[in-house]
Chain A
Amino acid sequence: MLVLTRKAGEELIIADQIEVRILGITKGRVRLGITAPNKMAVYRKEIYADIVDKNKRAVTAKRQSLGKVLKTILRKEARSVEDNP
């Protein structure tokens, strides 16, 4: 990992096209301004990781008939309501 020290107002340039400016540093937080080509997505890493994780969990579900699964649950619910009015 490349480690650099920068002050507020200073910038970095990455691969000739991404600029990162240190806007300010207060109370343990750094505000960054990022200028990048429109097609380059910039994410907060924990949010990106969360979406990847949700996608992976969504896809591991076996492709069973959802309609059947839901109808089964609803039938069970209806029955438990009849049993315990």
Chain B
Amino acid sequence: MKTTHEVVSGEGMMVTDYTITFPEGILGFPHIKRFVILEEESGSPLFRWLQALDDPEVAFVVADPAIFMPDYCEKIPVGERYPVALFDRTDGEADAPEKQPILLVIITVPQEDPMKMSANLLGPLVINPQTRMAKQIVLSDEGYSSEHPVFNLVAAAMR
């Protein structure tokens, strides 16, 4: 089996960030814990790849949810946005900008019909930028869709 680095270097991708660890994995993938963020050298800046380090076959397309819903992050209750598994809220500077969570959402792009691409706004990924630990949370507000259609927004942003 090729390593992730070999697979990725042949595809015009570059590693843009540090290793992110999901101690509990991503839901449905509990055994895959270490990921890197990749950017396509000639690709759209809207999307990045969350690539598993230990399994080249596992990669998710991820995006900043603010593209699809500008106030998405602010609307998530603080208790959910700062999972206790990742953040120590007893720290007096817990809300300092450099300590705020980074949120990403997973994009599904059906191969047979990429125009039906959707964003999972119900189960965002939360990253602690300081510890580089992350977790997929499930929002308690059932108003969010796990299949929010995004093609039109993406197309508009690319034009």
Q: Are A and B interaction partners?
A: yes
- Complex contact A50–B12 (CB within 8 A): no
A76 nearest in chain B by CB position? B115
Q: Does B158 contact A (CB under 8 A)?
A: yes
Q: Residue on A with the closest CB to B159? A: A74
**Do A67 and B155 touch (CB < 8 A)?**
no
List 10 contacting pairs A-B, 8 Å CB cutoff, sorted by A: A55-B123, A55-B136, A61-B108, A63-B59, A65-B40, A65-B42, A66-B40, A69-B114, A73-B114, A73-B115
A67→B44 contact, CB < 8 A: yes
Which A-chain residue is minimally distant from B79 (CB atoms)?
A38
- By the criterion CB–CB under 8 Å, are A59 and B109 in contact? no
Chain A nearest CB: distance from B40 CB in Å? 5
Q: Which residues of the other chain, A, contact B158 by a CB distance below 8 angstroms?
A: 70-71, 74
Interface residues of A (CB under 8 A from B): 38-39, 41, 43, 47-48, 50-59, 61-63, 65-71, 73-74, 77
Q: Does B20 reach chain A (CB closer than 8 Å)?
A: no
Q: Give CA–CA (A73, B27) in the complex, Å.
A: 31
B interface vs A, CB < 8 Å? 11-12, 26-29, 40, 42-44, 47, 49, 58-61, 84-85, 106-111, 114-115, 120, 122-123, 136, 138, 142, 146-147, 154-155, 158-159
* Interface SS, A side: helix
Question: A43 and B138 in contact (CB under 8 A), knowing A51-B27, A65-B40, A73-B114?
Answer: yes
Which among A41, A59, A77 has the greatest number of chain B C-beta atoms within 10 A? A59
Q: Given A39-B84, A69-B109, are A51 and B47 neighbors across the interface (CB < 8 Å)?
A: no
| Chain A residues within an 8 Å CB radius of B43 | 65-68
A57 CA to B26 CA, complexed, in Å: 13
- Separation in Å of the B138 CB from the closest CB of chain A? 6
Chain B residues in 8 Å Cβ range of A38: 84-85
B12 touches A62 (CB 8 A): no
A78, closest chain B residue (CB): B159
In the complex, the answer to whether A52 meets B61 with C-beta atoms within 8 Å is: no
User: With A and B bound together, what is the CA distance between A56 and B58 in angstroms?
Assistant: 10
